[in-house]
C-alpha cells in the first residue's frame, strides 16, 4: 500500500493541526509555510489528487468551507479582502498531490504576490 500523503494523515487525525473550520468533507488549517499572515489551506478530507478529481457533488460544501474560513480570517486578521488560489498539477505549482486551495487574507499595501505554492 502506498504511503498516505500529509493531508490524508491530517484528515485522519494522525497529525496534530489547528483547525480553523471543518464540515463533513473539508477542513481548513493554517499553511505550514505562509506567504502572508493568515495564509490558510482548505483541504478535502477524502483523497482527490486535484480539482479535476473532486466530485461536482461536493461543490456546495467546498464553497461553504471557503466562505466560513474567509470570514474567520477577515475577523481575526482584519483582512480587507482575500485571494483564493488553486494549483493543479506539478507544472502549475502543486506540491502536495491532494486537493486543496490557498486562502490569502489581504490588506491594502501588503504587496504583490507573484506565486503561491
Cell 490569502, located at residue:
104
Q: Which of 39, 47, 98, 100 is the catalytic position?
A: 100
Q: Could you give the CA distance from residue 16 to residue 69 in angstroms, rounded to a whole number?
A: 19
102 catalytically annotated: no
N-terminal to C-terminal alpha carbon distance within the chain: 27
Cell readout for 22 is: 471543518
Return the active site residues: 100
Amino acid at each position: 500500500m502506498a504511503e498516505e500523503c500529509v493531508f490524508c494523515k491530517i484528515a485522519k487525525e494522525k497529525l496534530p493541526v489547528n483547525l480553523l473550520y471543518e464540515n463533513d468533507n473539508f477542513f481548513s488549517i493554517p499553511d505550514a509555510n505562509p506567504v502572508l499572515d493568515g495564509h490558510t489551506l482548505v483541504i478535502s478530507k477524502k483523497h482527490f489528487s486535484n480539482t479535476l478529481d473532486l466530485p461536482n457533488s461536493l461543490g456546495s460544501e467546498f464553497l461553504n468551507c471557503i466562505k466560513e474560513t474567509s470570514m474567520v480570517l477577515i475577523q481575526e486578521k482584519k483582512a480587507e479582502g482575500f485571494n483564493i488560489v488553486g494549483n493543479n498539477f506539478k507544472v502549475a505549482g502543486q506540491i502536495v498531490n491532494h486537493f486543496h486551495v490557498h486562502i490569502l487574507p489581504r490588506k491594502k499595501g501588503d504587496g504583490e504576490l507573484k506565486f503561491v505554492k
